[in-house]
Amino acid sequence: MSKSLFLRIVHRLSTEVAYFAPTQDAVGRSSLSPLQKCTAAIRQLAYGGGADTVDEYWKNCPTAWKGMYSRGTDKPTIVLEAVASYDLWIWHAFFGAPGTMNDLNILDRSPVFDDIIKGIAPQVNFNVNGREYDFAYYLTDGICPEWATFIQSIQLPQGPKHSLFAKTQESVRKDVERAFGVMQARFAVIKNPSNLWDKSKITNIMRACIILHNMIVEDERRTQTQDETFQDEDIYFCVKMPFSIHLIVGQKFGVDQSIDN
């Protein structure tokens, strides 16, 4: 992240979180500065909290739990479901489902559409072939249900038109995979096996990494306008970026099962 973003984080934490505020001990000696504490915390996320093996972690957990979080191998995982757009911004994240669950099971448990049902979503408007659309759509793979809001690929395209659609849809869907890859490259703590056995703590770490990731993405595009516009001969698309990370909507839907416990 940029220096200006890091210093902004340091300032907010030092003024709003008691742990990061400067303090003194009984003899008047100053504690670690907010800068030192923030540096140490972010380094933990970026480089991980030390090496550990999955077997060493799971030997202290009930056998039934290990089986619930393992699928295909003895390697237990926790699923991160995410919706990401072309610029890697994560619009929605649902974390904590066992690795034995597939995309459909996770979708049934996910709150991805809760805010949309309540009418809470960024304004999305686009025009295709002269028709106006006011709701976002999600690019998915073939396992997802055939809902109107899901745009699936064509598994066996016949003819140049279907082939072009399938090629374009599948190439754009890689944006969510890129978002997963960038997050894992930035934060080794979510790429490597976890040293924690408390699921709530693992969830907090994942939430912190997603928030930091979005802050970095937002900082990198700070010179751009709030409105992103794409124009072609017969396609017009406009999205007004929300000001709150909690708004749940996006263009791509994906599931990553590489979060090791």
pTM above threshold 0.75: no
- CA separation for the pair 115, 163 (Å, rounded): 34
- pLDDT 10s per residue in the chain (261 long)? 888 899 999 999 999 999 998 888 888 888 889 999 999 999 989 987 644 434 444 444 555 566 777 776 667 788 888 888 888 888 888 888 888 888 888 888 888 888 777 777 667 788 888 888 877 788 888 788 888 788 888 888 888 999 998 888 888 888 888 889 999 899 988 888 777 667 788 888 899 999 999 999 998 887 565 444 444 444 444 445 444 433 333 334 444 544 444
Reading the block at residue 112, the tokens are 């991805």
Strand partners, 231: 236
